[in-house]
Structure 1
Amino acid sequence: MRETIDFGIDLGTTRSVIAVAEDDGVRVIKNSDGWDCTPSAVWVPKEGVVHVGRRARARTLKDHEDIATEFKLGMGVSGTPRHFPRSGVSLTPEQLSAEVLKSLCQDAAHEYGRPPEAAVITVPASFTVNQTRATSSAAALAGLGEQCPLVQEPTAAAIAYGAQDAADSEHWMVFDLGGGTFDAAVVSKRDGELELIQHAGDPYLGGKLIDWAIVEGLLAPAVRQEHRLSDFVRGNPRWSANFANLKLEAEEAKIQLSRCDTFHIGVDLEDGRGGILPFDYTLRRGAVEDLALPFYTRAIGLCRRALAESSLRPDHIDRLLLVGGPTLAPGLRELLADPAAGLGIPVDHSQDPTTVVARGAALFAATMRLPRRPPKPGPGEFTVELHYEPRAVQTSGVPVSGKLVSSSTVDWTRYAVALSNPAGHPPFHGPRVPLTPDGTFCAEVDIDASAKSHFTLELTDASGTPQRLSPRTLTITPTPFLPPDAVLTGTLGFGMADGTFAPMIRKGTPLPARVTKTYRTTIPLRRTEQNAVIRIPLLEGERRQADRNTRVGMLEIRPQDVRIDLPSQSEVEVTFDIRATNREVVVTVDVPLVEAKFEAVVNRSELLPPDHGLLVDRFHDLESRLLTVRRRVESADCERARSMLRELTGQKALLHLRKEIDAAAVDVAAATASDRRIRDLQAVLDDIEEAMEIPGLRRELSAALGRCEELVERIEAGPAERRELQSLRHRSDTAGDDTDPTTVRRLAVRARDLEIDLLRRTDQWPYLVFHSLVDLRDAMTSRAQADSAIAEGMRAAAAQDRGALTRVNERLRRLLPPEYWEGNLIGGLQ
């Protein structure tokens, strides 16, 4: 009987794989067709009949409407069921994914006599928490348990490569280009431990984009010209079956062009009137590589971002690990080898990129014990809940602990346990370890360096008599490496009332994680106003502007939820809690004033597919903004902004986005991808505009530092102020042209704060404060009181009465709304 999970599944956009870890290594389980990879395709020809894999994919040509593919891209999005007309059945992406998981488990059952009790399933590191939780839901639907362990795809790939690696210390980059997603990850290996250092990715960048580029850039134009069909476009529902067929042909051609220079496509298309349109086309590798280049460029840009955020350069990386079928393309491999256009990192060809993720997941599964509860003890029996890692790098001092249970009250201090492995090399016999009053123990064992160690746990009473105990055996296997700890790959937080993003748990935080912070509400909540609501949008992303991040949930507080009125500025405690195995995120808001708690579990129901018309409007706004930014960049003296704009232009981002939005009229996955892409491009334009601010920020910083230097000498400042000024001057001088504008802005704020601290010690301070408050006159709660105080302040200033002016300043300050002097505000009325 297995003690560890052992089975790993790569649940892919276009293909899925199951692998198993055995004593002699790890291997891929072939499906009923004898293939390593099972197409992620589902065919429902009639109610109660479901086909998965090759047979389903092959029906695309004849039964397009009853075939579902690439549904992984709809995971975590509400309202995206796939309807199968012939059966009248509708299935969500989670249900469709569950059918694929069931099929893979059936393949394992055919070989082992029973399906896996559990399996580790991989998810893209770029998946949002909604998409990750949706994967857990699919696993539960497939019978793999509510708490099915998940592992990120680049982590699984690194584990598979690491199992074959003998080096003690290296840095790797994982380049994971799958059918629908892309992940770039920087991984380190040191002393047998893997660590995910940094990640960057895109959940909608994958080989399917190349397939559609072939269809829309080459095949569809040829069909339009040959058969004179001016309306033959992807967004026209009339031709949806033909475009599905062309997409299938493009995918097969792309795969074959990894091995040959040309590929002939021959397919019969429907003419829309029951007839046939024969179509022949010879596709060349060079043409496909030209179409794929913008997508490769985008992926390489994400790799460079991950390196920059790790403070590493390509020459610091020992190997580039290729993952995913699209990485077999010769053009991509040549590009990656180019230090200028690509990365210039030596490529590791030792693994099959199409199955490496599943094999890594299986190796990870071999480090996780099966989730079994100990049996209930009968009269005179004892059971134990053991805690130990089934694999260990070290061979001595490996910890094992446990808690014993009895059906009756027991004085546990009269008992002891001992662990032994008489068949070990050398044999191991541990000492008797007395139990604590609550029945727990902690022990250490030595394991064999090259084979599994099978230990027997013996429980004895005070007289040394053995007791009936279950379970009484455990196995620990030596391993050259340990998998990395799970980390959060996208920052979680919420939107503030001022439109900014408040991070709670940062990207890269080890999981599980729990963080609590205190904020204040911005609006009152009165029980008499039944339509009022405080909404707290839960977000995932790295952008300061809230709407540039992905909304993954919404927490609402309504009048009926509180027992008394909730005034503005009420204190609330926000807690984010995220689990390590299935990435479930629970958000709690505690309102002490009303003694109430509100909870939201981030799940798929919070993401909705965007409206196509709204996408078109947003695209036009984006185009207009890009033109404005381009004109500003051309006239600005900022090479960083020019470089960022050139990179955006080189990726042909707007061209591909326009095509994606056209397809969104008939494709929900394209609509979701378009929404994400628009927000990403708006964020890039934010960055370009910020970069253009750097020259002005530098001038502002330099001027503030100059004023600080004058004040330091005039008031004879102390050592602390002089050290602060020296530090700011040094950081200002060493900040290069590629410095993040946020850094320059932060330095300018610190310089201004220092200037204010120095000004407070001068006679001019009350006068400066007064003039600043006068500028805020229109924001004050009482204009009449403000005007009276300002007039009195003018007289005090003219008389040089600093004491009177200070009192006037305090009166004016009290007339300002709270948000002018209190930070950390959340919530709002929407």
Structure 2
Amino acid sequence: MARTKIDYGIDLGTTNSAISRMENGEPTIKKTDTLKDTMPSCVYINKKKAIQVGDSAYNALKRDRLKSMKNWNSENSNAFIEFKRTMGSDKSYSSSNLDKELSSKELSAEVLKTLKSFVKDENVNSIVITVPAAFKNNQKESTREAAKLAGFDHIELLQEPVAASMAYGLFESSKDKKDGFWLVFDFGGGTFDAALLKVEEGIMKVIDTEGDNYLGGKNLDFAIVDEIILPYIEENFVIDSILADDAKKQSLRNSMKFYAEETKIKLSFNDTHNILSDLGDIPGEDDEGEEFELDITVTQTDISNALSPVFQKAIDVSNNLLERNNLKGSCLDSLILVGGPTFSPVLRKMLEAQICKPDTSADPMTVVSKGAALYASTVNISDEVREQTRDKTKIQLEIANESSTVETEEFVPIKILADKTEGEIPEKVFAEVTRGDKAWSSGKIEINTIGEIVEIQLNEGKTNIFDVVLYNDKGDILESEPSSFSVIQGSKIGSATLPYNVGIELKDRTTGKVRFKTIKGLEKNQSIPAIGTKNGLKTQKQIRPGMDSDFIKIPVYEGEHASEGTRAIYNEHVNTIKITGLELPSLLPENSDVDLTVNIDRSEKITVTAYFPYLDFTHETEVESTTKATDANSLENEIRKAKGSLIELKEEGNSDTMKLQKIESELQGIEKLFDADKEGNKDQVLNELRKSLKTIDELNDTTEWPKLEETLKEEFYKLEKANTDLGNEKTTQVVNQFRSQLDQVIPSQDVKIGTALLEEMDMFFFKLTEIYQFMGMIKNFNNNFGSYSWNNPTKARQLVNSGMDKIANNPDKEELRQILISLYDMLPNNERPSGDDSVLVG
């Protein structure tokens, strides 16, 4: 039977994955080749270049990791896992057996192909794949591309917590909890998500999400390694040389991770577990030539000490999510557990103590995959795929039923699609709709190409399947397609929501700083599809027609909660739209208006439309996500700047000692993580650094006014002196106005107004002393030439030398201006003293 709904859902996990299909109205797990519900998300390329996925690949990974202890070389493995953590990045995995580099999406595609192969009775070309709520746009795009590589033609993405809540909503034990607030606590193998849902009359709506793409079961495993297994080895073996070598130590940790994972799972269901290895199981020797052996009895107390700090991070994220929505754990009607680590009694006790008692009715390992299949049963297969699978010899029908509802009666339009049917259609056609339990039938109703409405009756709290049989006027059965449809009663997913604020980088017209600004209508948790607008933006320079070197850029970002007005590093760059003179019909003057409209469809594809009123011209661009390539050098610089900011806070005598100590500890951990693997860990380092920078900014805010007041006074006195030396009657009037404004701002201690006043004074001072400013800038370039990242150092040096010559011989203001413009053009945007003039002002 050709399907009209997708019906298939995949939980593409960091460590384990699963596929489900709707069968007789129920989401059903398709068993793996080893007859399990889930398979390891692991890929292995053997010496014959054959690709293995799942349990056999995982066994190869374990073998390779242990073997690496013989020569302490972990680079030769051809087995890969946890590549979901690097989706959307430029990270590659080297396979010596294939003699090539593999990307995260290529490895994910192999997992998806294998999951698809578990379906033996039909070809699967449409799919719903779940992604973490904290996934960024580029990570989602990379997931879509992986699905295309795996041969899927129609791909829909669904947030993992939404999938879990949909499956949970149909469990019998949850029927008395239909309404209220639900918190989905999704602790997976590599990511953590918390999603807050509000359920009213069975309609589920995500109202807020939070997560961490670098927190999961992997962190638990390494906690067991570091807190239990390594201390045992240190106590019983001599490993000083191994611990002194970071590469050897990491190889040892990776090898021991398998014992840790087994320990974690066993202690989810038992009071104790004995980590036991036989002589020869673990290759390699200690510093004195002794072979490694393990014999460790691990208790619930031991495991609690090791895992509690990791679990606490996830609980803190959840409590922050509740707090910003003015809720407490006691307000929740249900706490839903998702992911293998949530079986841990350590976590469950912590959750009950700090949030509320979790609901354990659903299987945390399969609930996401099943929920994805349930959602898939509500999504029509795309027209393109549908056309490929039609059997046009049968009478083609269009059945416009609601896929899910909280009502017990629904009206379903049915009509004949004559243009899609190649066989003969009788003059009179009758349809009979019968519910699967045979307890309700519509009777025979005449239908045609215009359409007829059938009122159906639904059983409560389950998926209702309806068979559709066509007859001619003689009562003969006619073959039709589709011949059935289903409606989920008692639960309904509201619109999906934006997991982040979607906005652009703009130059603030008041402060002159380039900052992230959310597009109105595209705020976090806004229902999608969504449309946002930002009107009255201004260009900073003229754009000449036909000139590729003249351009406006619109950097599109995803921002976290409270991201408004933050620096670019806090937010995730999606892509930058560049509109050049080649694309404009005529000259666009400086300071021209630009109106932006941003559309986000159900799959979170972004389209930006820029309208230029002066030209009456519209430019439309579909924003493609870029593969994120975090630059290790710039990241190192950001860490250095963060440490410098911390030192400044201490020197200024900031009173929040606990926060200062916390930031210091965080930065030490970030630096250690970065030094361990600058390329491999850079995305995780950036994620952690953002959190610390936000805290630094919060602490800076507490000391911002005293610093600003001091600067305002200094700048005013400097301006007053310059006016005495260089001004006239007109400029004196302006300076007197500044004095009056200063007298008002200082008592109010208003940082925003004070910053704006400071900018106005600086601009006036610049105009008053412009030629001296130009001379000072050129001298600065001359004195600090080597600290700038010139794109043409030779030409830059010539320009600086020319400027210094002109300063020594009656300088002309306009000549110096042109030299400075040329110098700024040879600097990256973030090093230009005047800022980036290609972004819009708003």
TM-score for both structures, normalised by structure 1? 0.74
The more displaced of 187-196 and 565-574 is: 565-574
Q: Distance in 2 between matches of 1:429 and 1:253?
A: 60
Deviation at 1:494, TM superposition (A): 1.3
Name which of 439, 443, 450 aligns with 1:425.
439
Amino acid at match of 2:433: N
Match in the other structure for 1:102: 113
- Which position in structure 1 is the counterpart of 2:819? none
2:551–2:838 Cα contact (<8 Å) kept: no
| 2:559 corresponds to 1:541 | yes
Aligned match for 1:199, one of 209, 216, 219: 209
Change (3 A) 1:774 1:633: closer
Matched, 1:160 2:173: no
Instruction: Show CA shifts across 1:688-742 (max 9, x none).
Output: 4336669999xxxxxxxxxxxxxxxxxxxxxxxxxxxxxxxxxxxxxxxxxxxxx
Q: Cα offset for 1:62?
A: 3.3
Amino acid at match of 1:116: V
Q: For 2:472 and 2:533, how far apart are their aligned partners in 1?
A: 43
**Relative to structure 1, is the Cα distance of residues 370 and 529 closer, same or farther in structure 2, using a 3 angstrom cutoff?**
closer
Show the 5 A alignment for 1:207-606: 207-217=217-227, 219-220=229-230, 228-230=238-240, 232=242, 236-237=246-247, 241-258=251-268, 259-264=270-275, 266=277, 268-270=282-284, 277-280=291-294, 282=296, 283=298, 285-338=300-353, 342-343=354-355, 345-371=356-382, 372-373=385-386, 383-400=396-413, 404-406=417-419, 419-421=431-433, 425-429=439-443, 441=451, 443-449=453-459, 451-456=464-469, 471=481, 473-497=483-507, 498-504=513-519, 505-518=522-535, 519-526=537-544, 531=549, 533-542=551-560, 543-544=563-564, 545-547=566-568, 548-580=570-602, 582-591=603-612, 593=614, 595=617, 597=619, 599-605=621-627
Q: Are the structure 2 counterparts of residues 373 and 284 from structure 1 closer, same or farther at C-alpha, using a change threshold of 3 Å?
A: same
Q: Distance in 2 between matches of 1:16 and 1:119?
A: 14
**Counterpart pick for 1:173 among 183, 186, 192:** 183
Q: 1:376 and 1:219 mapped to 2: Cα distance? A: 55
* Paired residues of 2:550 and 2:581 also in contact (CA < 8 A): yes
* Number of the residue aligned with 1:657: 670
SS in 2 for 1:19: strand
- Distance in 1 separating the partners of 2:661 and 2:363: 35
Query: SS where residue 114 of structure 1 aligns?
Result: coil
**2: CA distance between counterparts of 1:241 and 1:775?**
56
User: What is the deviation of 1:250?
Assistant: 2.3
Deviation at residue 94 of structure 1 after TM alignment: 0.9
In the alignment, what sits opposite 1:618? 638
RMSD: 4.3
- Give the distance between the partners of 1:136 and 1:661, measured in 2 at CA: 30
2:132 is equivalent to residue 132 of structure 1:
no
The 1-side partners of 2:587 and 2:622 are apart by 22
Q: 1:131 to 1:124 in 2, by over 3 A?
A: same
Query: Cα distance 1:224–1:455, how it changes in 2: closer, same or farther (>3 A)?
Result: same
Unaligned runs of 5+ in 2: 66-76, 508-512, 709-747, 772-835
1:394 aligns to what SS in structure 2?
coil
Which amino acid letter does the alignment assign opposite residue 442 of structure 2?
F
Instruction: Spell out, residue by residue over 1:204-244, the C-alpha distance to the aligned partner (whole angstroms, 9 max, x if none).
Output: 12121222333345545665676655453698445654443
Is the alpha carbon distance of 1:249 and 1:751 closer, same or farther for their aligned partners in structure 2, counting shifts above 3 Å? closer
Change (3 A) 1:225 1:130: same
1:68–1:160 distance in 2 versus 1, CA, 3 Å: same
Rounded Cα–Cα distance in structure 1 between residues aligned with 2:476 and 2:25: 35
Q: CA deviation at 1:377?
A: 10
Give the drift of 1:53. 1.1
Is the 8 Å Cα contact of residues 546 and 582 (structure 2) preserved in structure 1?
no
Pairwise CA distance, 1:162: 1.1
Pair 1:694–1:219, CA change in 2 (3 A): farther
What code does the residue aligned with 2:764 have? R
What CA distance in whole angstroms lies between the structure 2 residues aligned with 1:295 and 1:314?
A: 20
For the residues of structure 2 that align with 1:276 and 1:598, how far apart are their CA atoms? 68
2:50 — aligned with what?
Answer: 49
Verify the 8 A CA contact 2:397 2:414 in the aligned structure 1: no
The C-alpha deviation readout for 1:600-656, integer Å capped at 9, x for no partner, is: 423243x11431x54444334333433544676753xxxxx678668868xx64454
SS of equivalent residue, structure 1 residue 278: coil
Report SS of the residue matched to 1:506. Answer: coil
**Rounded Cα–Cα distance in structure 2 between residues aligned with 1:491 and 1:690:** 23
Q: Is the alpha carbon distance of 1:88 and 1:272 closer, same or farther for their aligned partners in structure 2, counting shifts above 3 Å? A: farther
Cα distance, 1:456 vs structure 2 = 4.3
Task: Return the match for 2:85 from 69, 73, 81.
Answer: 73
Does residue 149 in structure 1 map to residue 156 in structure 2?
A: yes
Q: Alpha-carbon deviation of 1:108?
A: 2.7
Letter in 1 for 2:150: A
Do structure 1's residue 122 and structure 2's residue 141 form an aligned pair? no
Work out the CA distance in 2 between the residues paired with 1:511 and 1:642.
Answer: 43
Partner secondary structure for residue 645 of structure 2: helix
CA distance in 2, matches of 1:204, 1:773: 44
Deviations 1:368-417 (A, max 9, x none): 34445358999999755443334443232334366845389xxx9x9998
- Residue in 1 aligned with 2:72? none
Deviation at 1:173, TM superposition (A): 0.9
Q: Deviations over 1:430-449 (max 9, x none)?
A: 8667x8xxx65473521342
For 1:268, give the aligned amino acid: I
Can you list the C-alpha shifts for 1:271-297, whole angstroms capped at 9, x where unaligned? Answer: 699x98424362554444334333322
Per-residue deviation, residues 78-131 of structure 1 (Å, max 9, x unmatched): x3221210221332111111111111222232xxx2343433211000000111
Match of 1:21 in 2: 22
Question: 1:603 and 1:773 mapped to 2: Cα distance?
Answer: 38
CA distance in 2, matches of 1:677, 1:503: 23
Structure 1: which 5+ residue stretches go unaligned? Answer: 636-640, 698-746, 754-768, 785-823
Amino acid at match of 2:643: E
Output the TM-score relative to the length of structure 2. Answer: 0.73
Residues 1:630 and 1:387: Cα distance change in structure 2 (over 3 Å): farther
- Matches of 2:631 and 2:315, distance apart in 1: 29
Counterpart for residue 7 of structure 1: 8
* SS of alignment partner, residue 492 of structure 2: coil
| Other structure's SS at 1:446 match | strand
Paired residues for 1:710-725 under 5 Å: none
